[in-house]
Amino acid sequence: MEILVAYFSPTGTTAKVARMIADEVKGDLFEIKPDKPYTEADLRWTNPLARCNREKLLKKDVASAQKIVNFTDYNVVFLGFPIWYYQEPNIIDTFVKGYDWTGKDVILFATSGGSDIKKVTASLQPLIKGEIVSAKLLNKTDNLSAWLDTLAL
């Protein structure tokens, strides 16, 4: 079984969780980076004109800086990101649209300062042709191993 842990982490929070997951499941790690990196001002969600707000509200595609060449080799894909406005950032939608997910088991994980992950699965399911096996908010990683054990990888 080939496992990929792909993640978007503009502040480093989700990256820490992604690395822990990749270590535990012995998966390959891939950071989803935008073509144009985010600045601190771009991420200041309290500013209505900040880039993250404009992208989300205007439903803009956000291109990734690079692609996964051997995506077809993976049967299990962990996909991680912070939650913005109760949903995944637009770069995740753009990333998902760029690949064929048929036959893949998809496991979502997210970090958030206050949102839950409930709306994310419904939002991403139409874009992912594979099965979303699980979705977990991982602000605290104390129970990470127990959660991964339930996935029977």
- Order of strands across the sheet with 131-137? 28-31, 3-7, 76-82, 105-111, 131-137
Q: How far apart are the first and last CA of the chain?
A: 8
DSSP tag of 138: -
Report residue 14's pLDDT band, with 50, 70 and 90 as the boundaries: very high
Report residue 115's pLDDT band, with 50, 70 and 90 as the boundaries: confident
Domain 3-147 class, CATH top level: alpha beta
pLDDT above 90 coverage of the chain, percent: 50
For residues 10 and 81, give the distance between their C-alpha atoms in angstroms, rounded to a whole number.
9
* pLDDT tens string 30-76: 999 998 888 777 777 777 777 777 777 667 777 788 999 899 999 99
Q: Using the predicted structure, report yes or no on whether residue 6 has a pLDDT greater than 90.
A: yes
Reading phi first (left if > 0) and then psi (alpha if -120 to 50, else beta), residue 90 is in alpha
Domain range summary for the chain, segments of one domain joined by +: 3-147
For residues 47 and 51, give the distance between their C-alpha atoms in angstroms, rounded to a whole number.
9
Give the HSE-up count for residue 115: Cα atoms under 13 Å, Cβ half-sphere. Answer: 17
Give the HSE-up count for residue 150: Cα atoms under 13 Å, Cβ half-sphere. Answer: 9
Rg, C-alpha atoms of the chain: 15
Q: Using the predicted structure, report yes or no on whether residue 80 has a pLDDT greater than 90.
A: yes
Pairing assessment for the beta strands 28-31 and 76-82 based on DSSP bridges: unpaired
For residues 21 and 52, give the distance between their C-alpha atoms in angstroms, rounded to a whole number.
26
Q: Using the predicted structure, report yes or no on whether residue 83 has a pLDDT greater than 70.
A: yes
